[in-house]
Amino acid sequence: MTEALDALDALDVVRVFCGPDGRHGNELGVVRDGARMRVPGDRQAFAGKLGFSETVFVDDPERGVIDIYTPTLRLPFAGHPCVGTAWLLDVPELVTPAGVVEARQDGEFSWITARADWAPPRTLRRYGSAAEVDALDVPPQGEWIYAWAWEDEAAGRVRARGFPGRGDGIDEDEATGAAALLLTHELGRALNITQGRGSQLLTAPGPEGLIEVGGRVRLATSSTPTGVSSSLSGV
């Protein structure tokens, strides 16, 4: 319990891939001092209690070494955790189990460069129109589905929604950098993606199979989500 509460004291919460008005974005928990909780099982339990789609533990802030968890899984790489953590730490790269992720800041946008084959598997499911994507119900569990449609194909504008299908309380992902990498790799072109309620993701294919993905990052209004302190009593 004490270790969990110590980690909570070091927790930052940011919103990643915010819309042009600064709203929306996918919440991310970042424990800047990962040494406060070293055991993977404890980290997994902590991430599950927080309930964000991903939580990051920073093991070396100077080198950017990070460890990423969903509420139920440890991930070798994920997009919105890397974008948000790179912005928060203001580092030129992050070290993940999948590989070294380059990072840069460009005005209001935070960018990372990574490979599509680092992304966890997702099913990219195309629909005929943005209205069809908007009308979708949450599909059955068991498959990570990235539903998308062109809003303006000539301009590279995409409407998307992400359904993790893991049964961990995250029925719909507000903004998904890894899926944006996969879609960019499949289409071979730069994209401007609107996902969820109004989050924005920008992508651009680069040389040697590298892809950039970027967006706006904002600090959340509260450093801890509602109810987290009480829910951690059992960790």
The whole-number average pLDDT for the span 26-50 is 95
Find residue 128's DSSP bridge partners: none
Identity of the amino acid at 52: F
The whole-number average pLDDT for the span 147-161 is 98
Rounded distance, CA 94 to CA 61, Å? 9
Least confident interval from 1-10, 88-97, 132-141, 172-181: 1-10
Encode pLDDT of 115-127 as tens digits: 999 999 999 999 9
Q: What is the mean pLDDT of the chain?
A: 92
- Report the first-to-last Cα separation within the chain, whole angstroms: 5
Tell me what pLDDT residue 1 has: 42
Confidence band (pLDDT; 50, 70, 90) for 150? very high
CATH number of 2-100+218-234: 3.10.310.10
Q: Say whether pLDDT at 160 is over 60.
A: yes
Q: Say whether pLDDT at 4 is over 60.
A: no
Confidence band (pLDDT; 50, 70, 90) for 10? confident
Identity of the amino acid at 218: R
230's enclosing H/E stretch is: helix 228-231
Higher pLDDT, 222 or 113: 113
CATH number of 118-216: 3.10.310.10
Percent of the chain's residues with pLDDT above 70: 90
**What is the residue whose two structure tokens read 């928990």?**
29
Tell me what pLDDT residue 135 has: 98
The whole-number average pLDDT for the span 66-81 is 97
Tell me what pLDDT residue 228 has: 52
Tell me what pLDDT residue 227 has: 45
**pTM for this model (two decimals):** 0.92
- The three-state secondary structure class of 53 is coil
Identity of the amino acid at 227: G
Percent of the chain's residues with pLDDT above 90: 87
Give start-end residues of each CATH 3.10.310.10 domain in the chain.
Answer: 2-100+218-234, 118-216
Tell me what pLDDT residue 119 has: 95
Rounded distance, CA 140 to CA 122, Å? 15
**What is the residue whose two structure tokens read 């993790």?**
164
Angle (nearest 5°) at CA 15 between 126 and 157: 30
The whole-number average pLDDT for the span 10-34 is 96
Helices assigned H by DSSP within 64-208: 79-89, 130-134, 177-187
Confidence band (pLDDT; 50, 70, 90) for 142? very high
Q: Say whether pLDDT at 89 is over 60.
A: yes
Q: At what angle do helices 79-89 and 177-187 cross, to 10 degrees?
A: 120
Rounded distance, CA 82 to CA 176, Å? 11
Given a contact cutoff of 8 angstroms between Cβ atoms, the answer to whether 139 and 43 are in contact is no
